[in-house]
Amino acid sequence: MPNFRWEIDSTRIDLYVLDPITRKLIRARPTLYIVFERFCDAPIGLHLDIHPPCTNGFLAALRNAILPKNYVRQCFPQVQTDWMLCGFPVEVFADNGNENWSIHTQAALAAMRLGIAYLPPYVPRYKPGVERFFRTLNQLLAHKLPGTTLGKKLPKRELDPQRDAKLTLVELAELLHVTIIDEYMHMTMGRGHMTHNRKWLSGLQIHDIELPVDEKEFDLTFCRPDSRTLRQTGIHIRDMRFQSDDLAELYGRMGREQKVKLLKPSDPNLLYVVNPLNGNPIKVDAVDGRVASPLPYASLLPLEDEELEGVQTEEDLAVIEQAQKRKQDIITSAKLRKVSDELTASDVKETFGRAPSFQDIAREAAAPPPAPPAAVDPLMERLRRKLQGES
C-alpha cells in the first residue's frame, strides 16, 4: 500500500560545493535529508541544507514529501518527467537523532496526527531502504563529481576535494533532482521489470492518497515558535525588518511596543505574527535585508491520471539517457569554472603531496607521452667512466 511506511534519515554528502552567489568554498559539506517510501522503494521527499542536521531540516524534508512537487518545473526546467510521489504517511520511521526528538518536531507531528517510530540506536538495518539509497546515490552521482571525498576511502594525499570543488549548491540541487526524478524513478525495482514510477501508479489503483486541505494551516504546522518586540517600524530580526499594512494596523490598535508571538517558516523572508487580540496569524514579508530563499515548495494541485504500464519501456530508457546527458553537461561546465576565492595553505591542511586537480589530470592526459630513453652501449659507458676517473 502506498505511503504505509516512510523512512527518513540525513547524511553529509561526500562532496564540497561553492556558494552560489560568492562562488567561494563552503567549508562544511552539505547535509541531505531523504524521505524514502517503501512501497515503490523510491524517495518521496528531500531537503538540501548547508547546516548540520537540525529540526528545521527534518521538518522541511517531511513537508517536501507530503506536498506535490510542482516546484520542480519552475526551479529545474531541464527535468523531463514529474515527481508524482506525495501524500500523508501512515507511519514514519526515524533514528534517535536529537533533531527527531525535539519539542518542535513532536508538536508538528502531533498537529498532523502522524505516528513516528524511533528505531534502536546504531542498528541501520531497521531502515534498510534509505540506507541503501544513500549508497546508490553515491554511485550514481556524488562520487563522480569534482570535489568528492569518495567516502574517505583514499588517504588525504591522494586527493584534495576542497581545492577541486567546482559545483555550486544550486547546481548540486539540480543534479539531485535530475538523478532522482529522471534516472532513478525510471529504473527497474530490484530483479523485477517494473519501474519505481509504475509501481507507485499501480498502488494508486487500490489506495487513495491524502493531501492537506488547508494550505495555510498546514504551513503553520511546520513553523518554529519565537517572540519579538513589535515596534512602530515592524519586527526586527538581526539585519532584517518585517512590515506590512496589517502589522502596522495591529501596532496602532495596541498603542505601544510589546512582545508578540511569531511563527517562523522555512523561508527566511517570511514571518507569521500571532495577533494577541484574536489569535489569528498575520503573514508578514521582509522589506529590508532580504536573503536568498531556499527552494520553493509545492502548491496544492491534484494529481493527473496516467496510463499504467507494468514494465520498463523504451520511453523510460530514453528519459534515463537524457538525464545522464544533462548531468554530464552540468558537471562539464562546472569543471571549467574558475573559483573566485583561491584557497591558501592556511585554509586547507597540507597533505604529504598535493594531488593534481581535475584540470591538471586532463592536461596531463592531453600531453604527448615522453620519448623513451636512448639505448646505452656498455663498452662506451665503461670508457666514459674511466676517462672521468683519470681526469
Q: How far apart are CA 200 and CA 239, in angstroms?
A: 46
Q: What is the pLDDT of residues 253-286, one digit of tens each?
A: 887 788 889 988 877 788 899 888 888 888 898 8
Sequence-distant (6+) residues with CB within 8 A of 185 are: 42, 81, 83, 195, 196, 197
**Residue 44 — very low, low, confident or very high, per pLDDT cuts 50/70/90?**
very high
CB burial readout 229-258, b (16+ within 10 A) else e: ebeeebbbbeebbbbbeebeebbeeeeeee
Could you tell me which residue, 271 or 152, shows the higher pLDDT?
271
Give the CATH number for residue 309.
Answer: 3.30.420.10
For residues 45 and 72, state if they share a domain. yes
For residues 114 and 156, state if they share a domain. yes
pLDDT of residue 363 exceeding 70: no
Please state, for a pLDDT cut of 90, what percent of the chain lies above it: 17
For residues 274 and 222, state if they share a domain. yes
The verdict on residue 76 lying in a domain is yes
- Predicted confidence at residue 390, as pLDDT, reads 53
pTM: 0.74
- List phi, psi (to 5°) of 61: -65, -40
The verdict on residue 188 lying in a domain is yes
For residues 183 and 234, state if they share a domain. no
State mean pLDDT over 99-121.
86
Positive or negative CA dihedral for 66, 193, 176, 92?
positive
Residue 131 near residue 9, CB atoms below 8 Å: yes
Full domain range(s) for residue 53: 5-212+300-335
The verdict on residue 130 lying in a domain is yes
Say which range, 160-164, 172-176, 272-276, 345-349, has the weakest mean pLDDT: 345-349
Q: What is the pLDDT of residues 49-76, one digit of tens each?
A: 888 888 888 988 998 999 888 888 888 8
Tally of structural domains, the chain: 2
State mean pLDDT over 180-200.
86
pLDDT of residue 22 exceeding 60: yes
State mean pLDDT over 325-350.
64
The verdict on residue 347 lying in a domain is no
The verdict on residue 368 lying in a domain is no
The verdict on residue 322 lying in a domain is yes
